[in-house]
Amino acid sequence: MTTRRGFLATLLAAGAAPRLGWAAVGNPAYLAAAREADGAFAMVGLAVDGTEAFRVPLPARGHAGAGHPARAEAVAFARRPGAHALAIDCATGAVVARLTPPEGRQFNGHGVFAEGGAVLFTSEQDRDTSNGVIGLWDVEAGYRRTGELASHGIGPHDLRLMPDGRTLVVANGGIATDPTDRTKLNLDSMRPNLAYIAFDGTLREQVELEPDLWRNSIRHLAVRADGLVGFAMQWEGEPGAETPLLGLHRRGGVPLLASAPLADELAMQGYAGSIAFSGSGEEVAITSPRGGRLHRFAAAGGFLGSVSRADVCGLAALPDGLLASDGLGGLIAVTAGGVRPLAATDHAWDNHLVRLRG
Amino acid sequence: MSAGEVGNAAYLTGDEALRAIYTQLLAGLEWTADKRLGRPIGTFDRPRPRMAEGWRSGRSLRNVVLAAETAHDLAHALAQGLVPGGLPRTDTAFAQVRAAADRITDPGFQDIEDPQARLRVEILQQAVRAMKDAIEAEIGTSLGIAAGFNSQDGD
């Protein structure tokens, strides 16, 4: 039955979203930043079989993106220290809005839509102190900056929306950096944490590791539909340490740290660049472009095996496993049936594959 | 051999295997410049002779020369049949590495606190970096290959 209220709501929604949906751009399942063969940079939409759905040019190397939940619109973040992000209409390639952080703030490479796409949250830091900030942007008002929250840590990097749709989980990497480049300033005193933050800024929960792992920077996140959070770390201590690079946490619980057997763990070179749960949620994987490896774990933390692939970094769920991308242009499906190359492209895929619509 | 076939995701094309070797080649020279030479060089106010690799056995300089020789051989092996006209720039750069090494008096870099000796090690370091640049220009550019995109980004 069409009620007056329902009708008005439809009308408003239609008016607020005049642009095309994802179906109009080939129903991509993933977003990835890339460098093309001629040296130009682009954001590419990929279908679930690894084929290209769309490609729009970017002015500089991208790091990660955020896809609008309904419209064919994506925000591409520059690499740290980011001075801007671009909201792009993926059907036309037009820049819908240019997001510039307020004076004294810089983007840290990740962002996430919430409230059905009405709000964008961005990870940022204070230019001078590296204190973490979550920026709030009103999407319908043309990506207008409306406020900010404390990230409750230094140098936040990845952030995700929890399944309740009302809480953010933030990886506060703990590393203070020079305002002009990425020189690390506080490796002796760094203290990363995982923070759960309500949209009003209330800190719901904060997780820290034992002091001997404070030099393990918590940087990237994956969230399973039931609220299990996976976090990937990067070791900033002496090289050659066999520190765990994967953590799993459930609200209210103690974090579970997962390692591979010694030789495999050492081969990761203390570095995990991306993390994702598999399509079924039964597995979680991390990648190390430095080690040229992907490590698979059961969601309970047990090591399942490794895949060797030079410069592998991007990682996202496939319906029956995981999709990995690399700097050589490869897209690889990692499933129970084995490792299957999906495509060898001439793009150098950048650090992250972002799954669209969950 | 099986590049791109089912089950082999290590290398999707033969070109990728080439790139992996190329990345190792450049990384090796970079390591020699940054660590084998950069560590003892330290800063002007604080050279660190004890950070030289193998200084007790006086092998520091020899290791640098051997690393450059190996890189030179590997570069030629990589370029064989692929880069027409050989590697003249790389050959010249390698000869300069040798010449710079011959001028160094202490094979363990233990005289690096002396400004003249320090300068000679710095010149060797520049020659190693120039050799890396030459290989990049002659092999990388002509084959259209670039070294690791993500592994060197670090984020």
CATH code of residue B42: 1.20.120
Radius of gyration of chain A (CA): 19
Q: Is residue B4 part of a domain?
A: no
- CA B2 to chain A, closest CA, distance in angstroms equals 12
Per residue in A265-324, pLDDT (tens digit) is: 999 999 999 999 999 999 999 999 999 999 999 999 999 999 988 889 999 999 999 999
Q: Where are the alpha helices (DSSP H) in A170-317?
A: 262-267
Range name among A188-192, A219-223, A267-271, B20-24 with the lowest pLDDT average: B20-24
A308:B10 CB<8 A: yes
- CA A140 to chain B, closest CA, distance in angstroms equals 31
Most confidently predicted of A46-50, A343-347, B84-88: A46-50
A118: Cβ–Cβ under 8 A, 6 or more apart, which residues?
Answer: A138, A139, A140
- CA B102 to chain A, closest CA, distance in angstroms equals 33
- CA A162 to chain B, closest CA, distance in angstroms equals 23
* Cβ pairs bridging A and B (under 8 Å): 76
Q: Which residues of B touch A (CB under 8 A)?
A: 4, 6-13, 16, 19-20, 23, 144, 146, 148-151, 153-155
Give the per-residue SS3 of chain B.
Answer: CCCCCCCCCCCCCHHHHHHHHHHHHHHHHHHHHHHHHHHHHCCCCCCCHHHCCCCCCCCHHHHHHHHHHHHHHHHHHHHCCCCCCCCHHHHHHHHHHHHHHHCCCCCCCCCCCCHHHHHHHHHHHHHHHHHHHHHHHHHHHHHCCCCCCCCCCCC
B10:A79 CB<8 A: no
User: Given a cut of 90, is residue A181 above it in pLDDT?
Assistant: no
In chain A, residues with a C-beta closer than 8 Å to the C-beta of B19 are 310, 328
Region A64-76 average pLDDT: 94
B144:A351 CB<8 A: no
Q: Which of A37, A79, A339 sits opposite B155 (nearest CB)?
A: A79
Q: 3-class SS at A8? A: helix
A8: Cβ–Cβ under 8 A, 6 or more apart, which residues?
Answer: none
By CA distance, what is B10's nearest residue in A?
A309
Region A335-352 average pLDDT: 90
Between B10 and A167, residue with greater pLDDT: A167
What's the pLDDT at A127?
A: 94
Look up residue A12 and give its DSSP letter. H
Q: 3-state SS of chain A: helix, strand, coil percent to 5? A: 10, 50, 40
What percent of chain B has a predicted confidence (pLDDT) above 70? Answer: 91
**Closest C-alpha among A95, A93, A91, A107 to residue A151:** A107
Domain count for chain B, please give it.
1
Q: What is the mean pLDDT of chain B?
A: 88
B151:A308 CB<8 A: no
Region A348-353 average pLDDT: 93
Q: Is residue B155 part of a domain?
A: no
Q: Is residue B153 part of a domain?
A: no
Q: Is residue B74 part of a domain?
A: yes
Name the band, by pLDDT with cuts 50, 70 and 90, for residue A191.
very high
What's the pLDDT at A294?
A: 96
Whether the CB of A310 is below 8 Å from some CB of chain B: the reply is yes
Q: Is residue B2 part of a domain?
A: no
Residue B63 backbone dihedrals phi, psi, to 5 degrees: -65, -40
Establish how many alpha carbons lie within 13 A of residue A289's alpha carbon, considering only the half-sphere containing its beta carbon: 28
**Look-up: residue for tokens 């660190």?**
B48
Query: Residue B104 is part of which domain span?
Result: 14-143
B153:A289 CB<8 A: yes
The Cα–Cα gap between A22 and A29 comes to 9
A340:B144 CB<8 A: no
Q: Is residue B148 part of a domain?
A: no
Which of A77, A123, A311, A350 best probes binding to B when mutated, by most B CB atoms within 10 angstroms? Answer: A311
Tokens linked to A187:
């490796």
Q: Which of B7, B10, B153 sits opposite A309 (nearest CB)?
A: B10
Element (H, E) at A15: helix A4-16
User: Given a cut of 50, is residue A358 above it in pLDDT?
Assistant: no
Most confidently predicted of A39-48, A166-175, B41-50: A166-175
User: Given a cut of 60, is residue A15 above it in pLDDT?
Assistant: no
Per residue in A99-130, pLDDT (tens digit) is: 999 999 999 999 999 999 999 999 999 999 99
What's the pLDDT at A1?
A: 55
What's the pLDDT at B154?
A: 74
Per residue in B65-123, pLDDT (tens digit) is: 999 999 999 999 998 877 888 899 999 999 999 999 999 999 999 999 999 999 999 99
User: Given a cut of 50, is residue A26 above it in pLDDT?
Assistant: yes
B12:A344 CB<8 A: yes
Element (H, E) at A10: helix A4-16
What's the pLDDT at B146?
A: 62
For the domain spanning A20-355, the CATH number is: 2.130.10.10
Q: What is the mean pLDDT of chain A?
A: 92
In chain A, residues with a C-beta closer than 8 Å to the C-beta of B12 are 328-330, 341, 344
Which of A287, A328, A339, A340 best probes binding to B when mutated, by most B CB atoms within 10 angstroms? Answer: A328
Q: Which of A311, A338, A341 sits opposite B150 (nearest CB)?
A: A311
Per residue in A87-96, pLDDT (tens digit) is: 999 988 889 9
Q: Is residue B61 part of a domain?
A: yes
A32 neighbors A325 (Cβ within 8 angstroms):
yes
The Cα–Cα gap between A195 and A204 comes to 8
What percent of chain A has a predicted confidence (pLDDT) above 90? Answer: 77
